[in-house]
Amino acid sequence: MKKAIRVIPTVVAVLVLLYAAAPPGARAARDKVINSFPAPTTAPAGLTFGDGVLYVGDFISKTIYRMNPDTGSVMSSFVPSPKPAGPFMYGLAYASGYLWADTGRPTRLYKIAPSTGSVVTSYAVGAISSCDGIAADENYVYLANNNFDALYIYKFRPATGSVVASWAGAKYPAGLNMITHVPTSKKVLMNLGNVDGWVYIFDLNGVRHDGEQFKIDAPCPEGYFTGDLATRDKTHIFFACGYLKTIFEHEIDWGGQEEFAVEPTSFGKVKALFR
């Protein structure tokens, strides 16, 4: 009995030290669903938000729907003209008054005027074999490549038509959006893994924010987190769930305490220290 009394405080003390040694902010952010509505198509893939409009792209027909972000009602729709080549249309992004869309296998990027649906220009992006989600700002388009040969995020500069950087993304990177990172007030990327549903956060130069990843709050079975992400503001995002054919709006708590970002050391591992 005396031996047990001596060991238990020691184990507890080690656990406290391990927890205390975690870096500041080493617990994940969290999100919660605050609204949802049916997608306007059975194949929602691309998703983005701009000027008060939620845009949803059909994976197969390449139709883009303009939706009310509060009610989910469709205001209008169009197929980009000329219609993008390639078998499927994946991600959507909005920046500086234009939509960006991508088609995969091989990847081609399209700049579209949302008021008319006209394709302004397009780019072949040869470095990317199977793009899924995309995000954009005034200078760059970011593309999440979901293929076994390169599970990366690529930073593409339309002004030069070239990829300027790449880095490892989430596990099987899919949905991608740009958002204001509340703790630093800087722009960051959120990248959703379409297999496990974890969202990872990256600076625009590819540095990952370890400790802030979170599993997206949507009732998808493991392996079916297909679909893109869109940003409404710095604390609200949308997720187009292709499996459920539903659009979810999520509220982000940047200081949340949902999950451990680093797996805690188990009691079994701790006990091994004393053998």
Sign of the alpha-carbon torsion through 77, 37, 87, 98: positive
Percent over 70 (pLDDT), the chain: 83
* pLDDT band at residue 21 using 50, 70 and 90 as cut-offs: very low
pLDDT of residue 28: 64
Residue pair 136/94 in contact (Cβ under 8 Å)? The answer is: yes
DSSP class of residue 81 equals B
pLDDT of residue 16: 35
Q: Of the given ranges (46-50, 151-155, 268-272), which has the lowest mean pLDDT?
A: 268-272
Q: Of the given ranges (34-43, 134-143, 262-271), which has the lowest mean pLDDT?
A: 262-271
Structure tokens at 108: 């081609």
The correct CATH number of 29-262 out of 3.40.50.300, 3.40.190.10, 2.120.10.30, 3.20.10.10 is 2.120.10.30
The Cα 68–Cα 71 span in angstroms is 6
pLDDT of residue 222: 87
**Residue 79 reports pLDDT greater than 90:** yes
The Cα 212–Cα 154 span in angstroms is 21
pLDDT of residue 69: 98
Sorted by where each begins, the domain ranges of the chain are: 29-262
**Residue 203 reports pLDDT greater than 80:** yes
The Cα 61–Cα 39 span in angstroms is 14
